[in-house]
Amino acid sequence: MPTILKITDQIIKSVDKFTFYDLVDNSIMAMIKQLNNVNLNQTQDTTWYLGKQGVRLAGFDTNKNLEVTAQNGFIDLATMSLQTGSDIMTYDGVDKFIESPYIDELTTVDGLTAETTYAGYSNVVGTEIEFIYKLHGSGIAGATRFTQAADASANEFAYDPDTKEITLPTGAFDPGEVFLAQYKYKAFGTSISSNTDSFSKSAKVVIDVTTSDICTDALTHSQFVIPRAKIDGNFSIAMGDSPAVHNVTVSATPSVCFGTSKNLFIYQLVTPYID
């Protein structure tokens, strides 16, 4: 028989991963490992029955809840899928593709033509480039806008998506001039959409942590198991001067079905059993 590790006073040295399991077939739905600022918050309300001069005679507890918050060090698409309630879509760029909006900063060498970085795309032939802009200064304010046509003219430009060549409006641009082209191109990749009719999902959540015995310093493996949790659809992704982090919040929602556990969470110190 193996030595049975009893739960004693433990130091949590690191949070190793969050794993989200499907409530129906127990398959893995998402897993995040680069975790910071993990907080497990259990709350309850106490109603006090008061006596003379406000002396507390008895307290009755209700509304016991558990919430776990964390930050992952990068954006995790599978977790975002749980938060938005939407599936991850995959596009091969051929049969299924993303129409990616793009602003192309181009320079015309001769003042007559220029080549786009990517092939412009539209469902309607002859509208592959939405607009080009002649700039007057450093920004888009006051820019002169031109539309696509079959042939270039003083007010319109032409475009060949096969060669990616723009024929500029006649007499509108000087050699070496910089201008902007607005279009969409076909791309492969993945996407998640946050639809107003889709909401965050529920899952079983297991939080794996590395712990050590406070007396012996022996490293151990422990887990917080939340049998049923609602993934919070409120989340933020801060971007800018620091790398973006992915905020995650889950709230325990014990099952009310017959024969199921009412546990908010189970904390267990585990050792693999070997015959």
| Number of domains composing the chain | 2
Is 155 among the domain residues?
Answer: yes
Examine residue 4 and state whether it is found in any structural domain, yes or no. Answer: no
Looking only at the bridges linking them, the beta strands covering 237-238 and 245-252 are antiparallel
- The DSSP-derived string for 96-108 is S-EEEEEEEEEE-
Q: Give the per-residue pLDDT at 9.
A: 75
Show the tokens assigned to 72: 């992952």
> Does 84 share its domain with 209?
yes
Structure tokens at 260: 């199921």
Domain edge (last residue) among 149, 169, 190: 190
Is there a single domain that holds both residue 40 and residue 173?
A: no
Neighbours of 163 (CB within 10 A): 11
**Distance from C-alpha of 227 to C-alpha of 254, rounded to nearest angstrom:** 7
User: Which residues span the domain enclosing 219?
Assistant: 10-88+194-270
- Of the three residues 138, 159, 190, the one that is the final residue of a domain is 190
Higher pLDDT, 233 or 93: 233
Averaged over 197-212, what is the pLDDT? 94
115-143 residue pLDDT tens: 999 999 999 999 999 999 999 987 888 89
Query: pTM above the 0.85 mark?
Result: no
Average of pLDDT values for 258-272?
82
Question: What does the pLDDT read at residue 248?
Answer: 96
Any idea which of 148-152, 204-208, 242-246 has the lowest mean pLDDT? 242-246
Of the pLDDT bands very low, low, confident and very high (cuts 50, 70, 90), residue 17 is very high
DSSP code for 111: S
How far apart are alpha carbons 228 and 202 in whole angstroms? 7
Res 4: pLDDT:
52
Q: What is the pLDDT of residue 273?
A: 54
Taking CA atoms, 100 is separated from 75, 97, 122, 191, in Å, by 20, 9, 11, 11
- The answer to the question of residue 5 being in a domain is no
The answer to whether residue 266 scores a pLDDT higher than 50 is yes
pLDDT of residue 5: 55
